[in-house]
Amino acid sequence: MQTAIRRPVRPTISHWLAPLVWLLLLLGACWGMSWLEPLFRLAEPDSRDIIYDRADFIVLLGRHLQVVGVAALLAIGIGVAAAIAVTRPAGRDFLPMVSQLASMGQTFPPVAVLALAVPVLGFGNLPVIVALLLYGLLPIVRNTLAGLESIDGGVAEAARGMGMTGGQRLWRVELPLAAPIILAGIRTSVTINIATAAIGSTVGASNLGDPIISGIVNGNIAYVLQGALLIGLLALSVDSLFARLQPGSPD
């Protein structure tokens, strides 16, 4: 009796529907915020300026993505590399130290990091990237460690019996098996930092936090709501995209 060969199921258009919808809502809000003026006027009925117009929302979105993207790439590179290093025989002794350092990075408030970094790095994006990097390391390091250490010892032993070198076992066996857990950590890190990046507006890093900070300073709730709306839609778009990239995600 022949066994049917199961072919991998290719993602359908509906698989990407959710992130596409969130992205369209985000872009629509950026380009058509003025259409929502009647809604925001309910929050600020006596204010002359309702829609934030000191910078284009699309420009602020691009700057926000740039800062979060650079910090995410650095956090992924450093976090995954550190976790791999301490799961090798030569680095096992440093595993507790790496875990503790990553935990300290997230427990240290980003505002405090900015306050310490600005005198050294100056105003702008650089201190914000440093703060987001430290804040985003813990989920990536923790999940990478969990993913690599959850691999069945028999699998690694079988790969060793096939004559694979340590590097081959890592790239062809361990990382592919640990990828879903690692990706979940990256998803958490990036989603958290999308919201955290808004504080960069306090140190001259222009992004979607600008309307929020301006609204707080000027007592304009409408500005705060506009910034919060765009950051929320961006976080939902990115989180939904990561959900679809994870193996086994539903259509």
Fold (CATH) for 55-245: MetI-like fold (1.10.3720)
pLDDT in tens, 9-47: 565 667 788 889 999 999 999 999 999 999 999 988 888
- pTM to 2 decimals? 0.86
Name the band, by pLDDT with cuts 50, 70 and 90, for residue 2.
very low
How far apart are the C-alpha atoms of 147 and 81, rounded to whole Å?
Answer: 13
Predicted local distance difference test score (pLDDT) of residue 247:
63
Residue 197 above 80 pLDDT? Answer: yes
pLDDT in tens, 114-125: 888 888 888 889
> Read out DSSP for 201-237?
GGGT--STTHHHHHHHHHT-HHHHHHHHHHHHHHHHH
Which amino acid does the sequence have at 105? G
Q: Check: CB of residue 20 under 8 Å from CB of residue 9.
A: no
